[in-house]
Structure 1
Amino acid sequence: MPYLKSKHLTTNSKRRNERSDKANRKLIYIGREIRFQSEQDLEDYIEASFDTIFPELVLIKRQHSLKMQRCDLLCCSKLDKQAVIIELKNEEDRGLVSQLLRYRKNIFQNQSFADRIDYSLPIKLIAIAPTFHEDNYTDKEASKFEDDIYFWKFYIEYQTTPLKFQLEDNNYDILYPVFGLPGSVQNEDLQSIILPAFTHNFESKLPVDVRQNFRIIRELFMAQPKIKEMVSPTYRKILYGTGEGQNHKKLAEITNTGKGIWLFLWLPTKVRTKIKIPVARFGFVLAANNSYFDQDSVVEWLVCTKTTVNLEENSNNNFCFSFDRHGMSKWTSANMYLCQASSNDGRNLNTLDLLIYLLKGATRPFDISLLESWWSQEINTPTNLGWYIDLAIKTWNYRIK
């Protein structure tokens, strides 16, 4: 049992998580646009605002399940009881049409809520998403139910007060806070946030003087799309990623051991193979009296490791000559991280290309002025912890695209 799961929640913990979910709904700034933190948050907002957004409809059931299929919103029109199926997506999805058609078939065959729905009328299918892939339109044109399928785009306008949820040509207020906006500091209300049960127990084992800063760095991680927060049974380890397994993508890990607190980030790393997105788990050794929850902390060493950081390695003269199978130094001086990670022997340039894209926003072919700028940065990597956290977040968002 590496990490706790919902089945390990007590009744009181479940109640706390329900309060946390309701109190901590938020929007995130990603890719220069605003998104809901999760598809569930989108569903929660639509359900809470349903009568305002769809005054002509009646919401019959949310998450209606039939034959292992589950539609987001099953509705009917107030005027003539026509069935309406609404599918909500927080990001682009290529399989929307087939998904809607499966729901339509199951609901029509089962005649769900026949006392409230007139099945002599065609079933209206509505997909709501920020963007629609070209394949959605192709599939719609190929369907015999084309006239009953509708694509509605939504957009969140965040430069207004309150924020506006724009659906087609209509605007609706949305009061969720936004995390991740450039230049914004979201720490004034962090103390009042209701943490999930497992996270609350993890925080309770931290020194009191670092708990507020833990919440700040936690919000940075939790503001990323598709992120999950997982806590160990001892409440001494917390992981941020898509899951705990070897094949899951991971962003960060914090451990609180008898030897102190450690932060690990998944960052670009040197490779000799054609891995599209080469990353590895790095631990950080900070300057004396610096904190892992302070982004201004000074990083002295990066340690490429799948386990913990063994400081005793730093006390002998052999650690500098320890390399992984790709040639990445296990211990790297912080200001030489970029130089070490992007160095190559002519066989592969994946990491160099990845780092230049993440930090410079450029792809090949590179012009000479960009390369000169890169070379000057490469030999003098920033050493503040916040720079590495930002790079880890940029890497995360690139990996999950």
Structure 2
Amino acid sequence: MNLIKTGNSWKFATEADLEDFVWANLKELFGLIPLKRQYYVNGQICDILALRENKQLVVLELKNAEDRYIVQQLTRYYDALQEVKPLEDEIDYQQPICLIAIKPSFHRDNFIDKKYHNLPIDFFEFTILADESNYYFQIINLDLHNEKLSKIEIYHQDKERNENIPPPSRGLMNRLAKCSSEQQEEILKIRQKVFSFDKRMEEIASGVSFKYGNGNSKTSKFCVEFYFDSKGIPIIFLWLGLKNNKSDRISRARIWTDWQGNALLEGYVAIGIGAKMNSYKNTLSNRVKIMNEIVANKGSKDHKGYKSMNQHHKDRNRIARKLNNSEPLTYEERQLLEIDVNEFVHVIGGGRLNTYKFEHYDSLNGLVEVALEKWRKRL
């Protein structure tokens, strides 16, 4: 963890560092099961969602400094979760939602707000203790007469203070409201990583696009962009090397992801969403669907089948050439090459086709890290 010294005491360098530590130690600190981080629901972003063994939901809001409005924040989270009731397969909403506030110190206004509040909210105060060589995270429950709850060692590195990561803009939050929870979580996680990487990082918003780099001029350098298409679907662009990220020359690369950590560099788009690539991907997606239907019907001899197989041969030959030349393939191109039609090739005619199996995907987090390092070198 990243710690900084302030006077005679120690603190986490950023609120993100505090969140990382609590998330990694939820079991030891509170006996909780981690569920979601930076979870977006109904216009609100919850720091941590966790579960008790009986599937009771616990919401944790963390502050790395004194804050007067933490009770109001937790109230809004409670309302959003009760209204939407997300993740119902994992959470038992028949049980009351538990609310926890964690801070190094509480303002007197926090206690006044809590005193006249209808919802039960637990206040936990933490301290970082240090001896000659080790650092410890100690947390006490202020509602149990300052009873010490836990004391855990912090594995750390000292670090100069960084500015706190700015909260998402209203524009970005409005866009995220139309996304799935997986997309919301991944985008916010990448955003946090980007801002934590370098204090020179800025967010440049322009309608449907949110770019990250050092300003917005002709000499600006960018590394990451979230672009929302006409249907509100988010697309990630990273500034990576040409020739499938093997060249030192940098260009804006369109990234496919399953929003669960897997990713592909699909190609390069200078500006916008890449209308030609989008059209091509949609066309191939339809052909993949048709070919899967033909496979399911064992290559029945209908006009549609013959016409599709002829197109399938042309598509595969073209995609195979790209593969042999180490050019990037779109997700749909991979799908097309994975379809095995050899079982009924004698019915529909034509020679046997090589069937490819693509088990390897890039790590989305790894590609983001590469883009960040390349950005810093360009600066």
With structure 2 as the length reference, what TM-score do the two structures score? 0.40
